[in-house]
Amino acid sequence: MSATVTAVVALGSNLDDPQAHVRRAFAEIAELPQTWVTARSPLYRTQPVGYADQPAFVNACARLETRLAPRALLEGLLAIERAHGRVRAIPNGPRTLDLDIVLYGESVIDEPGLAVPHPRAHERAFVLAPLLDVWPQAEIPGKGSAADLLRKIGSEGIVRIVVPAKAGTPMDSRLRGNDGT
């Protein structure tokens, strides 16, 4: 039996109720064979990077323990993306669901169709912030600690989505608008 590896998957969506896509994807990742979701980050509302003329994104990270090999994990994630109606049109363009392997243990993989750590994770606050939520000590092989990297680039353009603990409490009115509604 192969050993369990700690991996981190970044989730993103900016179409058709992005929060719902991300929440469903957390549950679907947990259904992958030989894979256990051990932490889910809060959701973040983030400004598009690379191709600005599109809706804001919702981003998050999941921390996993998995016995799947990197390729098998990728295939599982791509199947979940397809089930969410993901269509690849414009690079960095709008998408119902994007699932990226950010970290797979301490592995460095550079193969056609699979690069780990994800090649742009270290320069993206919308990946680093939720990564730190699920793994404060995370190290990105070859790049340094996720905490140092986020300090360097700053958290501009990302806001944690606050979900009121209980509807109807006095906090509700103060938080209204913070969830993008």
d(C-alpha 78, C-alpha 84), whole Å:
10
Q: Is 28 in the site for ligand ADP (CB under 6 A)?
A: no
Give me the phi and psi of 104, to 5 degrees please: -135, 95
- Options 45, 63, 98, 124, the catalytic residue: 98
Q: Between 68 and 87, how does the x/- string for binding to ligand ADP read (CB under 6 A)? A: ------x-------------
Tell me the CA distances in angstroms from 140 to 42, 61, 80, 180, one per residue in order: 20, 15, 25, 31
Residue with tokens 């929440």, as numbered in its chain: 23
Tell me the CA distances in angstroms from 67 to 3, 10, 11, 39, 105, one per residue in order: 6, 18, 20, 17, 11
The interface with Mg ion within residues 69-108 (CB under 5 A) comprises: 98, 100
- By CB under 6 A, which span of 27-35, 55-63, 97-105, 127-135 interacts with ligand ADP? 97-105
- Options 63, 86, 124, 172, the catalytic residue: 86
**Of these partners, Mg ion, ligand ADP, none, which one is at the site of residue 28 (CB under 5 to 8 Å by kind)?**
none
The 3-state DSSP class for residue 73 equals helix
DSSP classification of residue 114: E
Q: Is 97 in the site for ligand ADP (CB under 6 A)?
A: no
For ligand ADP, the closer CB: 17 or 75: 75
Q: Is 177 in the site for ligand ADP (CB under 6 A)?
A: no
With residue 133 as reference, give the H or E element that holds it. Answer: helix 125-134
**Of these partners, ligand ADP, Mg ion, none, which one is at the site of residue 166 (CB under 5 to 8 Å by kind)?**
none
DSSP classification of residue 55: P
100 is catalytic: yes
82 is catalytic: no
Give me the phi and psi of 179, to 5 degrees please: -100, 15
- Least Å from the CB of residue 152 to ligand ADP: 21
Please identify every residue annotated as catalytic: 86, 95, 98, 100
Catalog residues that contact Mg ion under the rule CB under 5 A. 98, 100
Catalog residues that contact ligand ADP under the rule CB under 6 A. 74, 88, 92, 98, 100-101, 113-116, 118
